Chains A and B, each alone.
Chain A
């Protein structure tokens, strides 16, 4: 493997795209544990380490709990730190996720979205990432391998921005993206190095001139105030994510926002979806537009923090919205994307009618035709004028 100084097009799957981003970012510490379908990313990065292409201290650990614990220690010690996981691995990191965010450590983690057991399944859905949506991490979803690469690089800048200092998850859909080879445009190594810039440590444990304590006992006198300041921190990072997306666009020609609106400007109906299904949904939108339907797509790139103002602006003028949820809130009123979108639109008047579809659990394929069905349903709902069934399913055998 040669060092690549220049920009280059490569055939890479999502895992390899993430590994190349990590190579170019050259973090101080990576601690990770392999898990399908993320393994390929960590293996490739380990190769980069063994070939001397990065200066990273690569820590092999005995579990994901240890992986994130090591990352937390390394980040608190003043290092630029990255890791990667999936599904059960993310679940095993559970308590450490909250600690990383509460300590305001700018760790970047690549998450390959995979269904949670049981029953055991290795394929894509969003139950792992969505289960961690309240942990205080920024969550960026990727539509394809190119976005995985681009998001990884931007995530470093977002996490380390002095206005943010929070951990970021960059997600990609298991197998659909992680194992599909696509054309990916890589920036030059130096360009990435310059874009992410040198790491600025804040409150380093290794700064012996300024000793600090991380994670002290925090009871009823201060815990609440600390959570309030954490709420402020994650809410404040929306403009930073937008700024970094613009700056990255100037460098690469690929601009990123919190959302992507596709043929939404004059639309009457929209689907809202995250991840790889966005590409498939764009095809569905094009096909329906060819048949004269006024339809569009709202792709949510940034789910945490939830960009509610931008979502209200995008969806308020519509007649009907169909949300596609790739994870279940058992016993809840619809999936996590639905409840959040519906809540955001509550104050809008008049507001669009909104329905939810569970789809794609455990890697169940989603086709253009499925998304056309979702559009047909929301059109029916609007014609009737009220929602008789809030939650339905796509691609399920009834």
Chain B
């Protein structure tokens, strides 16, 4: 009997072991290296000095430069999230209210961008907004402007590129929660005296809020951790935090500093996720990937 109980207790761990092994090997252990690295010190000779130094942490947490870029990163992520929420809600609502047959097709269309590399999608903006891009060529040819204007390489284009990249995530999340709302609820609201818009405000919008919140979290985290978009579409002053990590590790070969930087971003985004899921539940986010 006792052996059976012990066996039954063990079963979940046996079943979980492949995933646990994978996660430990590929995520936890490398992360430990990063943590250890962040306490080493790069010397003037370029070699890393093994030990327990707080120099990197003092630099990262104390230097205004890093703080400013961190704020800039979060500002860009915030603008991106708000814009995604505002313009993503409409297609999500439209898809959720489409008859079943066309719905599958529309959802497939939403997935379509994921089949093309994110880098290529980001670079496509150069062909649209660049000096010899579609818009400039058009404006010059119809005589609105005399010579190409500089539209690329600023914070706006970074946000634009991120919205382009992250919009499907927002739409899918909002769609899932809208699709789960019982149509009878809006009909009931209307029978009680609401106009269509009032019923939307009273019933549909609040009930779709979890999807909106889950989509926003996903957009914010992905935007805040982005590295490619500011490189391709940003100017010299539009660096985001992930670019600093790249700079430190790849360009300056300063692994200890890069480790400390990446841990700061990880900790902040991790804290955000924890606070969020506390109030909304992880299941909302998981739902959108069903």
A binds B: no
